Amino acid sequence: MKAEYNFYNKIKNWDFSNIKMEEENLTSWDMYKILKENSKEDFKILDLGTAGGEKILKYYPDVKEILGTDFSSQMIKTANENLKKSGKKNIKFRQMDNLHMDTEKDYFDIVTARHTCIDAKQIYDTLKNNGLLIVRGVDKLDCYSLKRLFGKGQAFKDKEPISKIDYENILDAGFKKVELVPIHIREYYKTKEDLLCLLMKTPILDDFSEMEENEEFEKNIDMGKLDLYIKENTTEKGILLIRRYYGITARKM
């Protein structure tokens, strides 16, 4: 956990808008569509792993209250800066560890979690009855060709897919109507610099499980291997990166 904290806290720039990339979504599952379809004006929403708050500010519905949390103080600082620019009054950001949640019991109508670790039982406790959990996660085979070339990466050596682990934990926590959907996306990066920028900002080629608890984050990418990947995966649309995510929805009933 300490190594993961160091990674996220040391990355200062969370703006991905300058990365030139086209996306081809092969799956119809849409987290934000599900969120809007299930929201009402008087709802309270908790977002776990909120990062710089960009997704909340851009895509979340206008409800009574939204709380975005992240265990990185740097991310929360960025989120609060973005919030100030937006002028929105129904949103708050604060630091919190997803595995040691301190939110009120039976308080939120919806909990969302994007690309972050979760404790299903704690989420269950903070949701109201009939509350909705929406998870969008990064699965084991995400960017697998790239990870295989480098011989490392996030979840690369996991014995079980993260999607399966989350799904079973959510069931064990007492949730009902639990649905798991694989999400397949093709991303096409215009230049090597665009792909490198993504890899510098995300843990795609990092494995926190192999880092020591007191290890400081230092990003090192073998440029020779990256050039080989680009040579083998350049298409007319750009440099191909195959993403593997998963979506889960579940009800507290």
CA dihedral 26, 32, 33, 39 (to 10 degrees): 160
Tell me the residue length of the chain.
Answer: 253
**Three-state DSSP state, 157:** coil
User: 3-state DSSP helix/strand/coil percent for the chain, to nearest 5?
Assistant: 35, 30, 40
The pair of structure tokens assigned to 41 is: 């004006």
What pLDDT, on a 0 to 100 scale, did the predictor assign at position 219?
66
Domain containing residue 12: CATH number:
3.40.50.150
Low-confidence residues of the chain, pLDDT below 70? 1-16, 207-219
pLDDT at residue number 209:
46
Distance CA 131, CA 174 (A): 12
Amino acid of residue 203: P
pTM to 2 decimal places = 0.88
Task: Please give the pLDDT value at position 211.
Answer: 44
Residue 121 confidence (pLDDT): 98
- C-beta separation of 110 from 250 below 8 A: no
Q: Are strands 65-70 and 127-138 parallel, antiparallel or unpaired?
A: unpaired
The number of distinct structural domains making up the chain is: 1
Domain span at 29: 2-251
Coil, helix or strand at residue 68: strand
